[in-house]
Each structure stands twice: as structure tokens, then as C-alpha cells.
Amino acid sequence: MGRPPCCDKLGVKKGPWTPEEDIILVSYIQEHGPGNWRSVPVSTGLMRCSKSCRLRWTNYLRPGIKRGNFTSHEEGVIVHLQSLLGNRYTY
């Protein structure tokens, strides 16, 4: 029972993504939006697993993603909240 596997694992490329693959994925997402990830490899011709496409978009290619160090303002907010709340959190 449960969900079927995301791909058949035969002919699926593994390893680092190439810049050409990134361009294909970004252009597909810009045209169709992030949605049905199972259709992405079939529609684009990428020889990647749908999960790999989703994770690549979510963790590396999304336009709103921020990389790098905290700004001084962000660091101040973190220190302030830690002083108020401590190291633990509750629901």
C-alpha cells in the first residue's frame, strides 16, 4: 500500500546538476509554476527523479532563497529573542 515510487530508477541521472539542467528546470517552473513535480522530468526531458527536481528547486534555485551570513539586524533579532525565550521553545 501507499504511494508508488517517484520514478523507476532506470536511466535516472545521479550526481551534480549541470548549469544546462538548472536552466531547463527554472524555465519550466517559470512557465508552469511549481506544482506537479512528477510531470517535470517527463515534460522537460530531464533524466532526473521528480524528487531530485523538487529538492533542487526548493533548496537552490528558488528566487526568494537567501544564502550567506546573517545581517547585523538579523543577528540582533536572534540575540534578542534568545535572551527573551532562552534555548527552549514550547507550543
Tens-place pLDDT, residues 5-20: 766 777 788 899 999 9
DSSP reduced 3-state for 13: coil
Q: What is the pTM of this model?
A: 0.70
DSSP structural state of residue 70: P
28-37 confidence digits (pLDDT tens): 999 999 888 9
φ and ψ of 46, to 5 deg = -70, 135
Q: Which CATH number fits domain 19-85: 1.25.10, 3.30.1560, 1.10.10, 1.10.3470?
A: 1.10.10
For the chain, what is the mean pLDDT? 88
